[in-house]
Each structure stands twice: as structure tokens, then as C-alpha cells.
């Protein structure tokens, strides 16, 4: 579709997607509509990506070929933009004209970038809450988590100083977090409904399903900075977690083991399969 190259605005992108959906319901889509939807999908993904949204990137699609232009500050971001375009259904070729300039200064944030940043903050908040809930050190916390511009604020109570420190460390090691304001106060937290229900089983240790543990260990790797969770295999049997795969350094290896140990229900971590 040979249109004047432009940077679509989020509102326009949404409106275009809605109109395209209506057209599809009424009549078969024309090639122009298909290409407009492809352009919208690519640009929207750029707008939501923390690595690309600040860059002034432009997209056009013509007969399955996406042409990308603009400026980024790193080669890896140029490659990311190309892979995103190739991942759109119907795009078979990419002409990547994006230039790399190390001292490139992105333009001021648009309203679309600000919206995407709010999505990032909401995602960070959810990730931190999940990590606190899964951890053996912090499950008893009564914690309020808020994120603004990548800065996480923890408020509420912790039952010990160690639990407060652990909560701060878990938050700080979450992808996208730039700072942590740990306002947790040490004191006796109010029992949650889940804790009250748990107390009914007495002092007997809860047996947590191995599949649950495996899922949570994998998730905490993906949420954590300094860990490439996609390279690490996780298997659990009778509460014993076995880790396999490749890590980039001894520091990453130690972090991976520590994160796995701290998931509720984990009795032991077997890490012989983790190699440098």
C-alpha cells in the first residue's frame, strides 16, 4: 500500500482497527484494508514496547512487504523492530531502513507513549504482587504495591525485618523496576482469608502441587531482571526442583537457584544441570 509514510497515533490506530473489523464483517477485506491493519498492528506493538516506543519509527506495508524507517540508538532495537514486523500475519518481507545512531535523542513522549508507560507500571505492579505471594519469605505480608514511572512503592506490614528486606529485594529484581521505596513497617500483620483458612489444617505442612511449583518458578524467572528464563528448564517432583540449561555467569546461576528456593512448597533445588 503506497501511502505517505506516517506515524500513526494510538487513537487513530484503534479507530482504524475498529473500522477494519466492521468492514470485514460486511464484505471481504480489500488489499488496502489488509495492509492498513498490518501497519496498525506493527506500529501498535512498537508503541507498547519499552524498547521502541520512544523512537520515531514509521511503517508502511505493500503487498506483504513492510518498510521500516526512523532512528534508534542500538542495533538490537533495530533488529527487534524487524522481528516484530515479520511476526505479523501476511508480512513476508521487511525492508529495514531504520538507522542506528548511538547519541540519538528520542522526541518528547506522546500521549500514546504515556499510555504504554502506564501499562508497564501496571504490569510491574502485578509482577511484584505475584512474586511476593509466591515467596516463602513474604507470603505473610500485608502489602500494598504501587508503581509510577518504574518506581515501586511498598506499603503495609511485614512480620519481621528479614521479610521487609526480602520484599524489597524481590521488587528490585523485577523487570522494568528502576527504584524501590520500601515503606513496609515491621509488626504483626492482619491474617488474610487465605491464612485463616490455612490455620484450620493445624501445624501440618501444606503439600503444594509440583505443577504449581514448576509454573511459579518459571514465572518468577521471566519476571526477574538478570535472568534469562527462556534458557532454563524447570522440573519438579515431590517438591524437589531440578534446574537445567545455560546461564551467562556465576552470579546469574546463584540468583536462579536462590529464586527457585524461595518459591513456596520447594523443598530442595537440584542445580547440577545449570552450566555456564
Q: How many Cβ atoms from other residues are within 10 Å of residue 211's Cβ?
A: 9
Domain 10-100: CATH architecture, name and number where available: 2-Layer Sandwich (3.30)
Q: Write the CB contacts of 73 (distance below 8 Å, at least 6 apart in sequence).
A: 55, 100, 101, 102, 103, 104, 106
pLDDT at 113: 64
Q: Which CATH number fits domain 210-275: 3.50.50.60, 2.60.120.200, 1.10.1050.10, 3.30.1340.30?
A: 3.30.1340.30
* pTM (two decimals): 0.58
Count of other CB atoms within 10 angstroms of residue 229: 17
pLDDT of residue 141: 73
Domain segments of the chain as ranges: 10-100, 116-199, 210-275
Burial class (CB in 10 A: 0-12, 13-18, 19+), 106: middle
Burial-class residue 141 by CB neighbours within 10 Å (0-12, 13-18, 19+): buried
Grouped pLDDT means (10 residues each) for the chain, 276 residues: 41 47 56 92 86 86 95 90 93 95 75 74 90 82 89 92 92 92 81 47 54 91 82 92 92 92 93 92
Closest alpha carbon to 241 in 207, 266, 211: 266
Same-fold call for 10-100 versus 210-275 = yes
- pLDDT score of 14: 45
Per-residue confidence (pLDDT) for residue 109, from 0 to 100: 61
Amino acid at each position: 500500500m503506497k501511502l505517505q509514510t506516517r506515524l500513526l497515533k494510538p487513537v487513530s490506530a484503534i479507530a482504524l482497527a475498529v473500522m477494519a473489523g466492521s468492514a470485514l464483517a460486511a464484505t471481504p477485506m480489500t488489499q488496502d484494508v489488509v495492509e492498513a491493519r498490518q501497519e496498525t498492528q506493527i506500529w501498535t506493538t512498537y508503541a507498547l514496547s519499552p524498547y521502541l516506543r520512544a523512537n520515531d519509527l514509521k511503517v508502511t506495508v505493500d503487498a506483504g512487504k513492510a518498510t521500516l524507517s526512523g532512528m534508534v540508538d542500538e542495533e538490537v532495537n533495530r533488529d527487534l523492530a524487524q522481528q516484530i514486523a515479520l511476526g505479523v500475519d501476511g508480512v513476508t518481507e521487511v525492508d529495514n531502513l531504520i538507522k542506528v545512531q548511538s547519541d540519538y535523542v528520542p522526541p518528547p513522549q506522546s500521549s500514546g507513549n504515556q499510555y504504554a508507560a502506564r501499562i508497564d507500571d501496571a504490569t510491574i505492579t502485578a509482577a511484584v504482587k505475584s512474586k511476593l505471594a509466591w515467596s516463602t519469605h513474604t507470603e505473610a505480608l500485608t502489602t500494598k504495591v504501587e508503581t509510577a514511572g518504574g518506581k515501586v512503592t511498598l506499603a503495609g506490614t511485614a512480620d519481621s525485618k528479614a521479610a521487609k528486606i526480602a520484599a524489597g529485594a524481590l521488587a528490585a529484581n523485577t523487570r522494568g523496576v528502576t527504584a524501590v521505596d520500601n515503606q513496609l513497617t515491621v509488626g504483626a500483620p492482619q491474617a488474610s482469608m487465605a491464612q485463616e483458612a490455612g490455620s484450620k489444617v493445624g501445624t501440618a505442612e501444606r503439600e503444594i502441587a509440583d505443577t504449581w511449583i514448576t509454573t511459579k518458578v518459571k514465572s518468577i524467572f521471566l519476571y526477574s531482571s538478570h535472568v534469562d528464563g527462556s534458557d532454563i528448564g524447570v522440573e519438579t517432583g515431590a517438591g524437589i526442583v531440578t534446574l537445567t540449561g545455560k546461564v551467562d555467569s556465576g552470579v546469574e546461576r546463584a540468583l536462579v537457584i536462590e529464586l527457585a528456593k524461595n518459591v513456596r512448597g520447594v523443598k530442595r533445588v537440584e542445580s547440577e544441570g545449570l552450566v555456564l
